[in-house]
A and B are shown apart, each in its own frame.
Chain A
Amino acid sequence: MCTWIIEKAEMYGSGKGADGWFRMNQANVYYDHPYNAPLDHALIIDFVADPEKPGNRVAVEISAESARRLVESIEIALQTGVDAHAVDLTPGGTGHPAMPSSAH
């Protein structure tokens, strides 16, 4: 399978790429042949600042099983943090900053 169909998630945060830290605003998620990982198919995530420009990108290529573990770990870590710091995840809350226009 070679797919050009991807899931896109808008995000706010930073990533560290080949040129150092950058403000990223989108994650492209797909399941396809990896470029580097020795797998037939992998769950691939590209964290990018500008989807139209190559370069600053944080890329991961992981097995399907790894991806499911990662999802579980994210959920657990997020919930632990929310509980410990009383983060408000509702829109406009402390854990949900509005996307500043400078991030786009």
Chain B
Amino acid sequence: MTTGREYEGMMAETVRITGDGGDEVGAYMARPLGPGPHPGVIVLHHMPGWDDSTKEITRKFAHYGYIGIDPNLHYREGPGAPDDVAAVTRAAGGVPDDRCVGDVEGAMRYLRSLPYHNGKIGIIGFCSGGRQAYLCAGRIPDLDAAVDCWGGRVIASADELTDRQPVAPIDLTLNIKAPVLGIFGNEDQSPPPADVDATEAELKKHGITHEFHRYDGAGHGFFAVDRPGYRPVQATEAWSEVWKWFDRYLRD
């Protein structure tokens, strides 16, 4: 509860982290000013790139008292404008899963090096980033919480697997240690509701702490305030679930 008397401020800036293979990777970070300590949340952008909307969400995390960090998963395909670099990444077959995991681990090391970090790290991703959040939850055991927002292809058929995405993230479910929150629109077809149900069943089967929230009248990407699919009521409710989840698992 705020009183309207507290000091509020944030710093948002680009930083360089050491990502997969020791590569330099750019990231956008936003953090509350003040001593902290603050929990960290890694924000994964969607396939169209390291874009304004993901940076805005990263700042939203700082507003709510988290260190948000948004690694540029297309950094190696640059330099270039985020949309141009995204086009190159897409044409090459998307971000390799191993590289994504390595970059997220780099972002975790960076967060842990900050004197105002409380030691807890969550991850959230949107669309392809939602799939990557689930992937990282299955491959990085020391994540403290994960949020998958409408990640498509968590379940993938054999013909959807590629050299860059060789494993369906659902097959990593048994390795997940972090509690998983899922946010989905019931009118979405990527993932379709049946895949959402199957993913939740897999989490239950392996005893993974989770909550899945499904919203009627919402489709894919219903948080996006600049697109026709924005659903303000459902988005507001879903954001409140995100804050509850991270507050529960990332704060001391």
Contact = CB atoms under 8 A, between A and B. Distances in A.
Q: Top 4 A-B pairs ranked by shortest CB distance?
A: A54-B80, A4-B94, A2-B47, A2-B128
Interface string B85-105: 111111111100000000000
Contact of A40 (B77, B90, B131, B221): B221
B90 A39 contact: no
B146 to A, nearest CB: 18
B47 A3 contact: yes
Contacts of A6: 90-91
A1 B160 CA distance: 14
Interface in A23-69: 28, 30, 32-36, 38-41, 46, 48, 51-55, 57, 59
A38 B226 contact: yes
B220 interface: yes
B189 interface: yes
B229 interface: yes
A55 B229 CA distance: 30
Contacts of A2: 46-48, 127-129, 131, 152
Nearest to B191: A1
B228 A54 contact: no
Contact of A39 (B78, B85, B127, B227): B227
Interface majority SS on A: helix, strand, loop or mixed? loop
Interface residues of B, number: 40
Chain A interface bracket (under 10, 10 to 19, 20 to 34, 35 or more) = 20 to 34
B84 interface: yes
Contacts of A1: 127, 152, 189-190, 220
22 contacts: A1-B189, A2-B46, A2-B48, A2-B127, A4-B47, A4-B94, A28-B87, A32-B48, A35-B49, A35-B86, A36-B83, A38-B226, A39-B228, A40-B219, A40-B221, A40-B228, A41-B220, A48-B87, A51-B92, A52-B88, A55-B80, A59-B83
A38 B93 contact: no
B15 interface: no
B51 interface: yes
A42 B234 CA distance: 23
A16 B182 CA distance: 43
Nearest to B80: A54
A4 B51 contact: no
A38 B221 CA distance: 13
Most chain B beta-carbon contacts within 10 A, residue among A2, A3, A28, A41: A2
